[in-house]
A and B are shown apart, each in its own frame.
Chain A
Amino acid sequence: MSSRTNISCLQEAKRVAIFGGTHGNEMSGITLVNMWIQNSAEIERNGLVVKPFISNPRAVEKCTRYIDTDLNRAFTPENLSAPDVEGLPYEVQRAKEINRMFGPKGSSDAYDAIFDLHNTTSNMGSTLILESSTDLFNLQMVHYIKKAMVPHTCSVLLNEHPQLKYSTTRSVAKHPIGLEVGPQPQGVLRSNVFESMRTILKHALDFIELFNSGVEFPPCTVDVFRVQERMDYPRDTNGNITAMVHPHLQDCDWEPLNRGDPMFLTFDGRTVLYEGANTVYPTFINEAAYYEKQQAFMTTCREILAAYAIRKACK
């Protein structure tokens, strides 16, 4: 008769946080969060509480990615359960504190949604990062944001890869969403990138307000790029890179890379070709922070995820 049996009833999202400065040199999120801490009018919505928060204040003060270790890799079970002792790396202490304030991760007391604001030196445009292909709330939100941003495009990156997935700051929440906007150099604030991030958040908060007010969102599909593999630079025996991202690949995030396409250009002028069997869609191409993580770019494959209709659960 009707498809009403396929509606998921989900809890309201009453407690929402916006994190800036998880990396202390990614300026859009730092600037937005500091602005909203001063004056929160723009992020206020009926039916929810939105908390702007600087996740790594010491790194922000030094305008550096991190002090001791990358905060956005620090939310592992080992770290979160580490005893409070002297000599813990700053970011591990911070992860435990954030887990206390906004988690505990995995529990029913955790914040409903956390938006974690990032910039990249890669030409990724506006990107939303998901960690689960089955989080209906997030899928519906991402669908809503993409539609609202038209004609601007918003790509969706899904990192559900068992080895490459990492323990992010936002993962303490029930619904973690990463916002990644580039290209922007570290330590630089570009107006267009700042305004794009601001607009994405506006739509995200509008979605949550509508959802909490009882609006039903019909079934939808979301085009995503699913993380496949990390590709490192060619290196010498001392670990130094011996080539750069090839000019044909540089800035071509989300565009198909086929077998035989140029991938790297060595310092002495030789081209290294992509040898993979299948077409992939590279992203995070030439991100400054990933040289030390042995990553020149990530490969992804395209996928269409389906989401059931959702609405707020009745009390």
Chain B
Amino acid sequence: MPTVSRVAVCGGTHGNELAGIYLVREMLKKRADGTEPVSVVTVMSNPRAAQLCVRYVETDLNRCFTRAALSAPVSETSPYEMIRSQELNALLGPKASAQAVDLLCDLHNTTANTGLCLITYSDRDWICLHICKHLQREMASTPVRYVHFDIPLNEAYSLDSVGKHGFAMEIGPQPHGVVRSVIFSAMQEGVQLMMDWICQFNSGTLFEGGWVDVYTMVKNIDYPRDSETHVITAAVHPNLQDRDFCLLHPGDPMFLCFSGETLRYRGKEALYPFFINEGAYYEKGVALSLARKRRVQIPSVL
């Protein structure tokens, strides 16, 4: 496999997800001296949102990387994030071209209790899967999981889809607008381990094959809402809150209505919930996502 010679580390794609923002600021302080074995571009993706400590200024930047959004004509009056996504695509891509960075790691936080997740669009990208396995091996106190969204590249909407290989490194739980030292340290360690793996890979180290559990997103579930006002009528049930990646069985409690009633999971198949009660997803109509888990065999690579 060809070397991973150009890497991008992006933070502040959402301006209130602070671990990535502070990590990118720290990385930018350390000037590269040209002797690094891997060329790393460190980018503050949405500087205006980061300045205001908001998720986005006009529209969610991390939904602006579809083929359609990247090729849409933009002018000064276009939403800020539409202009910015095209700038980032020019800097780190273009997406789906030979000039794109080899690997793009986009740093995120979530209010959900997800631990560390590598979120990507492929379940057979051996580089991403091996990096995941490496983090799982080396990170003692943080659960590390591989989450897969089965969406074709053209429709892939997030920044990480710009690189030839890419993933979001998502760590929770952390409230938006807060940096928790344990979360910052985990993100710093995750990025360092990723860089270590890349250096070893580039220098010809053999990484043994094996198995990785892949969680493939199946569907989202919205909150129960009032049919007229659309206002939510329940909260995530205490039995489900913070239980990301614990198998949810048909009949398990899902929501506790303000009226006191319990609503249960009515699906036929037991699935793995994640992004349970993410603050930014209320406006997107998502209370939680559900995934199927399967073991994926990965080959040795060198």
Contact = CB atoms under 8 A, between A and B. Distances in A.
A187 B175 CA distance: 9
Interface stretch (A139-147, A204-212, A241-249): A241-249
A64 B16 CA distance: 12
Residue of A184, A244, A250 contacting most chain B CB atoms (<10 Å): A244
Contacts of A289: 177
Contact of B182 (A183, A247, A291): A247
A186 B22 contact: no
A187 B181 contact: no
A132 to B, nearest CB: 31
A185 interface: yes
A255 B80 CA distance: 45
A240 to B, nearest CB: 7
A69 B184 CA distance: 30
A126 to B, nearest CB: 16
B26 interface: yes
Contact of A244 (B173, B184, B277): B184
B181 A188 contact: no
Contact of A267 (B184, B280, B282): B184
A121 interface: yes
Interface string A281-315: 00000111101100000000000000000000000
Interface in B175-222: 175-182, 184
Interface stretch (A79-87, A152-160, A190-198): A190-198
Contact of A188 (B180, B238, B279): B279
A31 B238 CA distance: 17
Interface stretch (B1-9, B116-124, B158-166, B228-236): B228-236
A173 interface: no
A215 to B, nearest CB: 29
Given A240-B25, A267-B22, A267-B26, A286 B111 contact: no
B292 interface: no
A35 interface: yes
A78 interface: no
Q: For chain A, which range describes its interface: under 10, 10 to 19, 20 to 34, or 35 or more residues?
A: 20 to 34
Residue of A121, A191, A246 contacting most chain B CB atoms (<10 Å): A191
A189 interface: yes
B178 A188 contact: no
Interface in A155-194: 183-192, 194
B181 A246 contact: yes
Nearest to B188: A267
Nearest to A246: B181
Interface string B277-289: 1111011000000
B279 A250 contact: no
A190 B258 contact: no
A268 B188 CA distance: 10
Contacts of B180: 244-245, 250, 286
Contact of A190 (B22, B176, B232, B277): B277
A195 to B, nearest CB: 8
B256 interface: yes
A265 interface: yes
Contacts of B283: 63
Contacts of B277: 188-190
Contacts of B53: 291-292
Interface string A116-146: 0000010000000000000000000000000
A189 B232 contact: yes
B243 interface: no
A187 B17 CA distance: 13
B42 interface: no
A34 interface: yes
B177 A189 contact: no
B241 interface: yes
Interface in A52-71: 63-64
Contact of B279 (A187, A192, A247, A267): A187
B235 A190 contact: yes
B111 A188 contact: yes
Given A121-B175, A288-B175, A191 B256 contact: yes
A80 to B, nearest CB: 29
Contacts of B54: 64
27 contacts: A31-B232, A31-B258, A34-B231, A35-B258, A63-B283, A121-B175, A184-B175, A185-B111, A185-B175, A187-B111, A187-B279, A188-B111, A189-B277, A190-B235, A190-B277, A191-B236, A240-B25, A244-B180, A245-B180, A247-B181, A247-B182, A250-B181, A267-B22, A267-B184, A268-B26, A286-B180, A288-B175
Interface of A: 31, 34-35, 63-64, 121, 183-192, 194, 240-241, 244-247, 250, 265, 267-268, 286-289, 291-292
10 closest residue pairs by CB, A with B: A185-B175, A288-B177, A187-B279, A191-B235, A244-B181, A121-B175, A185-B111, A188-B279, A288-B178, A265-B181
